[in-house]
Structure 1
Amino acid sequence: MAVEFGARTVRVTPGRHRAADRLPPFAWGEVATITAVAGVLLFARLDRYDYGGDELYFLGAGRHPAVSYADQGPGVPLLAALAEHLAPNDTVALRLPALLMTLIAVVLSALIARELRGGRGAQTLAALAYAVTPAAVLQAAMLSTYCFAATLAALISWLFIRWVRTHSDHLLVLAGIVAALDFQVEWPALLVWAAFALGFALLGPRQIFTRPAWWIGTGLLAVSVVPAALWQHANDWPQLAMGALIRDQRDLASMPWEIVLLTGPMGVLLLAGMWAGFRSPRLLPYRFLIPVVVIGVAGVLGGCLRPAHTVSAFPGLFAAGAVYLAHVRLPRRLRTAGVALTAVATAICVGAVLGLPRPQSELRQPTDRYARFDWRSRVFGPGGWDDLLTGVDAAYRRVPMDQLPGLVLVTQNYWQAAALDHYGPPVGFPAVYSPHRGYAYFEPPPDAGTTVLYIGTERPQVALGIDFAETVELARIDKWFGYPGVNQHVAVWKCRYPSTPWSAAWPGLRRL
């Protein structure tokens, strides 16, 4: 049959590939060794970091199961709830899925290289390249939406690449199922599927649109969207507002540098993969991937997506680069430089895994801006929850006994709420509420809660926009080397008798 790839037409055999077109053997030994070594190193540091703010939020969201949340799908909170049920307060159990997704991405890099007819050397290089990127080290460190979305999008790429070679239509259905799972993690899964569709439409093979399996896969994704869309519609589409929020929070000038930090020295192989996608004849049938990469990078540089969203393209680009370099004659000097670069990348990642996090005693300057959160969390780890808990406990003890019945906690941001929601119940704290992010769409404080302890960096009247008959500051949490909003510049206020019942005021207090 004839298959169109943009302006060119290629003759292919429908059904499974012929014997003459069999792929090279899979590099089981090499890939298994890389995966096992990476798994052992990354597993050994899973319990070194305290809970991250978002991890505590996943645990909190898992206690409020829903078909959608203001800022994500239900997948990660459900996994967090399962981990907490099976192994309470165990960061290793919580983070095991992130480690598993990272190792799957390592194997996918090799599998894609094999699909592109790369031999053992190319497959090994692709797997090693992913394993020694800073992106992989970060992906396995903590539970996150990105650790799932990156690997699931790469899995969809592999399924489509394999379909182009085999024309086995069940792969298209599987791709739709994976995309539906990806959507339960993050809404950008819809953008990924749309980018693939655009790639097929522009660069072929366009015959994919004549396959019922394509439409079945697309239909499965569409059906998976319905429950979340209904929830979003009922709550004024907070997920759509997240794109503008991400754009406002990002420093666009630093985006390219952040991508470089994610790739590390192996970014050179990524560039080779991009070059091969445009120039290599052997990759002609797979150029439908180009719009996926271009749209992802454009979304990051435009500020609508985070730099981590580019990681889903790493397995395919590493594979393309490895296969391309395996089939071109490079001067010995360049080959030696490539080996040295790979060794440097490996040393950097092994050093980061073994040497991080650094002790808090090595901090030399305060984290006085939210923009420094990410860097400090990676180097020194998250923290400050014990100070937050101690400060709230001190304020709680100062509340007169006759005011304790019905008292609730209200926090300014969702990290504070998640931390107190997790650490508070064992020490007897009351229920926690917050008008921020996902917590804003859980239940509001009861109208009977006329006395609250408000935790925030601003006065309650300013932060909430409602008045109280009585407002008294009971405690202050302000560590010089603390995190802003966690254990720095935070006060605990006792507020009594809000001017508006919580049920009426709450929808207007919500913010992302």
Structure 2
Amino acid sequence: MGSQAEGRGTAGVPRGVWLTAVLVVAGLVVVAGRYGFHRDELYFIEGGRHPGWAQPDNPMLIPLLAASWHDLVGGHLWAFRVLPAVATGVTVVLAALTCRQLGGAPRAQVVAAAGTALTGVILGTGHLFSITTFDVMMTALVVLLLVRAVGAVPQRIGPWLWTGLAAGVALEVKVLPGLVLLSCLVGMLLAGPRRPLRGPGPWLAGALALVLAAPNLLWQAAHGWPMLEVAANIAAGGSASSADRWLVAPMHLLMAGPVAGFLIVVGVVALLGTARLRAWRWLGIAYLVLLLIVVVTGGKPYYVAGLFPALVAVGAMQLPAWVERLLDRPARAVAVALVVSVPTACFALPLAPVGSPVFRIAQAVNPDGAETVGWPGYVGLVTDVAAQVPEDERPHTVVLTRNYGEAGALDRARRLAPGGTGGDGAPGWLPPVYSGHNAYGSWGPPPEDARTVIVVGRLDPDEEARWFAGTCQQVTTVRSPAGVDNEEDGAPIRRCQLGDQGWVAIWDEVARFG
């Protein structure tokens, strides 16, 4: 693993970086078909079939990409997850490029790539067709381009325009890159360099980014900023991955994992206290500002993850002497890498048997694992309930679910087997599916003549009385596989009759953000 060998590679990138990225992509593809679709994936697939300028909780880019890619690969789970695997591999390379841009030697670039590859939250989201997967990749690209633009001597407009273009695309993935850029601006105002901010480049970049982000921003403004209501729900603990504010700081490092967490801390300390990194001190301040914003607003710990590749890159440049000696002994380095990577992989990826002790521990650390288990059984159960609806009532029957994952699973089943089976091994008939949750609520209520309703999920007694006039009868209960703790476990499935008010009258109550 000598530096001379590391230095050889395509376009100046060490071969070790490319090898690390390839291994990450290959590993993610190997486990891509494990467990099942995540509730968010099911939601995005359906969301992309309802084109618009935006959705209440997300810009439109990822839903459109998810729906298109899902159809292109024939709905196969492993193939559906190839794109996020590739995006994660790109993130690994971007970390190495950031390290090189900051002055890191070839060995440090390889360590930056390996550290990013072993970042738990990046590896875990890389397994899913998640907005976070593409958000982290695009944010890492924006930070790299920003570092290049700030460090360019003499200052030029071109690098800033590339930064603005990438930022605009990133903002159509998620609004979070906007907070990252705001944090970087605060860092530069506090620590410098301030000279680039006096030129036209940053402001042209900002204008370009805003133009590209305008569809989502204008839609949000026209609809009363529902994304803020979603954020408030998250801050109140309404999401499985929400965390108390006091837990955000330790949790975000726990999500990073031992290797990346160590490099992030080393990187931040070096940025704030090392004279030779003074020109990049704003990056360390940006991290602290972003972490403070997430804590104050009650955001999720992984919201800081977009800065992880850059911070890992800086940490890789500060390797202590004992780490350097370890890297000089390839056999020992590989052994240590395996030891530290196994726990991260077990917690981040679907490796443990469902319901096993390791699965339960991983579920506590990474709740997303539980959200990918049990959907075929759930679809089959709803299909069985639908089969009990008399033939003459079926044209006037709909399903109403309490969350978008439940609705997305049923919609996907109907689309894969229209008119014949419930899909995913569940033969039978499924009625049209509706929900009031997030974007589903904005897609509108069922037709007014839909009087028979199969209701999935828990209803408040007052809601049941107002919407269905107390006509609901419980038919069965959803049971997740043993050892799986998710939102569907214990959810009742009831058959109801719509009350006299009608769907249009009650839809504002049914629709909710969270």
Using the TM superposition, give the Cα deviation of residue 256 of structure 1 relative to its aligned residue in structure 2, in angstroms: 3.5
**Alpha-carbon distance in 1 for matches of 2:30, 2:337:** 20
Q: Distance in 1 between matches of 2:158 and 2:378?
A: 52
User: Which residue of 1 is the match for residue 293 of structure 2?
Assistant: 299
Aligned pairs for 1:128-147 within 5 A:
128-147=114-133
Find the aligned partners of 1:455 and 1:256 in 2 and give their Cα distance: 36
* Equivalent residue runs for 1:49-448 within 5 Å: 49-166=35-152, 167-249=155-237, 250-252=242-244, 253-266=246-259, 267-302=261-296, 304-325=298-319, 330-332=320-322, 335-336=325-326, 343-350=335-342, 353=345, 356-360=350-354, 362=356, 375=366, 377-378=368-369, 382-425=372-415, 426=417, 427=421, 428-448=429-449
CA 1:285/1:157 → structure 2, altered by over 3 Å: closer, same or farther? same
Match for residue 12 of structure 1?
none
How much has 1:341 moved relative to structure 2? 8.6
User: For 1:359-389, what per-residue CA distance to the aligned partner results, in whole angstroms no more than 9, with x for missing partners?
Assistant: 225369999xxx96763543x6722112211
Alpha carbons 2:272, 2:285 under 8 Å: kept: no
Assess if the C-alpha contact under 8 Å between 2:386 and 2:431 holds in 1: no
Alignment check: 8 A CA contact 1:273 1:324 kept: yes
- Judge which range, 479-488 or 203-212, deviates more: 479-488
Answer whether contact 1:67 1:228 (CA < 8 A) is retained.
yes
Distance change in 2, residues 1:113/1:233 (3 Å): closer
Is the CA contact 1:385–1:486 (under 8 Å) kept in the aligned structure 2? no
Partner residue in 1 for 2:505: 504
Secondary structure of 1:453's aligned partner: strand
Q: 1:178 to 1:334 in 2, by over 3 A?
A: closer
Q: Equivalent pairs: percent with the same residue?
A: 27
Per the TM alignment, residue 494 of structure 1 is displaced from its structure 2 partner at its CA by 1.8
Distance 1:463 1:251, change over 3 A: farther
Amino acid at match of 1:245: N
TM-superposed deviation, 1:402? 1.9
Query: Measured at CA, do residues 497 and 48 of structure 1 come closer, stay the same or move farther in structure 2, by a change above 3 Å?
Result: closer
Q: How far is 1:244 from its partner?
A: 1.3
Change (3 A) 1:508 1:458: closer
What is the CA RMSD across the aligned residues, in angstroms? 2.9
Q: Call closer, same or farther: CA 1:230–1:483 in 2, change over 3 Å.
A: farther
* Aligned partners of 2:353 and 2:359 also within 8 Å: no
What residue in structure 2 maps to residue 481 of structure 1? 482
Q: Distance in 2 between matches of 1:302 and 1:417?
A: 33
Amino acid at match of 1:408: V
1:126–1:315 contact (8 Å) kept in structure 2 = yes
- Change in 2 beyond 3 A, CA 1:202/1:486: closer
Which residue number corresponds to residue 15 of structure 1? none
Deviation at 1:483, TM superposition (A): 5.3
Instruction: Give the distance between the partners of 1:332 and 1:479, measured in 2 at CA.
Output: 48
CA 105–484 in structure 1, closer or farther in 2 if over 3 Å, else same: closer
Deviation at 1:459, TM superposition (A): 6.2
Maintained 8 Å contact 2:29/2:81: no
For residue 420 of structure 1, report the CA deviation from its aligned partner: 0.8
**Contact 1:47 1:92 (C-alpha < 8 Å) held by counterparts:** yes
Counterpart contact for 1:42–1:353, Cα < 8 Å:
no
- Distance in 1, matches of 2:243 and 2:40, equals 21
- The residue number in structure 1 matching 2:467 is 466
Amino acid at match of 1:375: N
CA offset digits 1:410-435 (Å, max 9, x no partner): 11111111111111342241211101
Deviation at 1:332, TM superposition (A): 4.3
One-letter amino acid matched to 1:236 = G
Cα deviation code 1:6-27 (max 9, x no counterpart): xxxxxxxxxxxxxxxxxxx934
Local SS of the residue matching 2:471? strand
Aligned to 1:498, what secondary structure does the other structure show? coil
Q: Contact between 1:247 and 1:302, CA under 8 Å: does it hold in 2? A: no
- CA distance in 2 between partners of 1:261 and 1:485 (Å): 22
SS in 2 for 1:198: helix
Q: CA deviation at 1:352?
A: 5.7
SS of the residue corresponding to residue 50 of structure 2 reads coil
Instruction: Tell me, yes or no, if the aligned pair for 2:397 and 2:451 is still in contact at 8 Å.
Output: yes
Letter in 1 for 2:400: V
Give SS of 1:127's match. helix
Letter in 2 for 1:506: W
Partner of 1:470, secondary structure, is coil
Q: CA deviation at 1:488?
A: 2.2
The counterpart of 1:31, out of the listed 17, 41, 50, is 17
Counterpart residue type for residue 139 of structure 2: A
Q: Tell me: CA distance 1:245–1:338, structure 2 relative to 1, closer, same or farther (3 Å).
A: farther
SS at match of 2:53: coil
Measure how far apart 1:481 and its partner are.
2.4
For the residues of structure 2 that align with 1:130 and 1:388, how far apart are their CA atoms?
36
The 1:189/1:237 distance shift into structure 2, 3 A limit, reads: same
- Determine the C-alpha separation between the residues in 2 that align with 1:108 and 1:454: 46
Tell me by how many angstroms 1:282 deviates: 2.1
